[in-house]
């Protein structure tokens, strides 16, 4: 089993405030992890280290066998796909051009840069695989959030990374667009079974069917981690969010509902 990510006893301190404490996480090839917790629990900070965007204050982070602090970060990031729904593109690139921008790891297309035949071929395959073809010539400002989401996944995968990070990818999507996006992620997992993914969310309804593992984070610490069915229980999720929440797994999807207490009003 190929190890893709390894965080060992990771602490992270910002402005004298301890954001993360003793985080341990191992992600192997083909595993699909979800990082779940309340707002401010530390999920996005963990994801930033998985993406070689930040270094730990204490502890070690190894990404694709390379330890942060001992590797050329720019080269390492080329092997990591990152999907951020708040992608800061300001110009009117087409969906196709946005996909190509992933080859250089830049938000805008680089001046005088031309894609190689190999990059063009991979872009075409991804545009078909992820359903971008119907709107490949649409301009970014006019695209729906669902179209942008599919485009950003294709962009993240154009360098054929071994690791894909998804930072609250359902942000801004309506119910129909969210379901279409999750279908896209599930299709990606089935077509690229060795790809490891780490998805951050605080809504269990946003988990793809193909999720295999989960980590619950509370106040910067790991509350539970492992097989998704062992971690996403009513007891553990209620503890993570400090509120009674009933967890159900039905038709391969997760559902979470607050449990009414005696103090609840109708």
Task: Report the pLDDT averaged over residues 20-25.
Answer: 97
In a domain, 266, yes or no: no
Query: Is the distance from CB of 183 to CB of 190 less than 8 angstroms?
Result: no
Q: What is the CATH number of the domain that holds 16?
A: 3.40.50.300
pLDDT of residue 262: 64
186-217 per-position pLDDT tens digit: 999 999 999 999 999 989 999 999 999 999 99
Query: Is the distance from CB of 27 to CB of 4 less than 8 angstroms?
Result: yes
SS3 108: coil
Q: How many domains does the chain have?
A: 1
Higher pLDDT, 91 or 46: 46
Task: Report the pLDDT averaged over residues 8-17.
Answer: 95
Query: Is the distance from CB of 115 to CB of 102 less than 8 angstroms?
Result: no
In a domain, 85, yes or no: yes
Provide the percentage of residues in the chain whose pLDDT is more than 70: 98
In a domain, 256, yes or no: no
Sequence-separated (6 or more) residues with CB below 8 Å from residue 162? 4, 29, 64, 79, 194, 195, 196
In a domain, 258, yes or no: no
In a domain, 136, yes or no: yes
How far, in Å, CA of 126 to CA of 155, rounded? 9
How far, in Å, CA of 73 to CA of 79, rounded? 10
Residue 74: HSE in the Cβ half-sphere, 13 Å Cα cutoff:
4
User: Percent helix, strand, coil in the chain (nearest 5)?
Assistant: 30, 30, 40
Q: Which two tokens stand for residue 204?
A: 């269990």
| 80: containing domain | 3-250
What are the angstrom distances between the C-alpha of 187 and each of 28, 120, 184?
19, 22, 5
What is the DSSP secondary structure assignment for residue 260, as one 8-state letter? Answer: P
In a domain, 261, yes or no: no
In a domain, 91, yes or no: yes
Please say if the pLDDT value at position 166 is more than 70: yes
């Amino acid at each position: 089993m190929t190890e893709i990510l390894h965080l060992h006893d990771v602490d992270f301190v910002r402005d004298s405030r301890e954001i993360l404490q003793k985080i341990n996480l191992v992600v192997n090839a083909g595993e699909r992890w979800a990082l779940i917790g309340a707002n401010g629990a530390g999920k996005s900070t963990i994801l930033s280290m998985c993406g070689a965007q930040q270094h730990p204050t204490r502890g070690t982070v190894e990404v694709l066998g390379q330890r942060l602090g001992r590797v050329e970060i720019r080269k390492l990031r080329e092997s990591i796909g990152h999907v951020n729904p708040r992608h800061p593109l300001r110009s009117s690139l087409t969906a196709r051009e946005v996909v190509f921008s992933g080859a250089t790891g830049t938000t805008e297309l680089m001046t005088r840069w031309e894609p190689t035949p190999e990059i063009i071929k991979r872009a075409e395959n991804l545009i078909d695989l992820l359903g971008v073809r119907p709107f490949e010539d649409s301009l970014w400002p006019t695209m729906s959030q669902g179209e942008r989401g599919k485009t950003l996944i294709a962009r993240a995968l154009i360098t054929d990374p071994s690791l894909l990070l998804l930072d609250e990818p359902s942000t801004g999507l309506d119910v129909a667009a969210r379901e279409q996006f999750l279908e896209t992620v599930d299709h990606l997992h089935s077509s690229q079974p060795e790809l490891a993914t780490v998805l951050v969310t605080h809504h269990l309804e946003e988990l793809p069917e193909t999720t295999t593992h989960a980590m619950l984070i509370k106040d910067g610490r790991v509350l539970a981690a492992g097989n998704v069915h062992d971690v996403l229980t009513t007891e553990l999720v209620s503890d993570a969010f400090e509120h009674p929440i009933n967890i159900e797994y039905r038709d391969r999807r997760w559902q979470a509902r607050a449990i009414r207490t005696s103090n609840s009003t109708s």
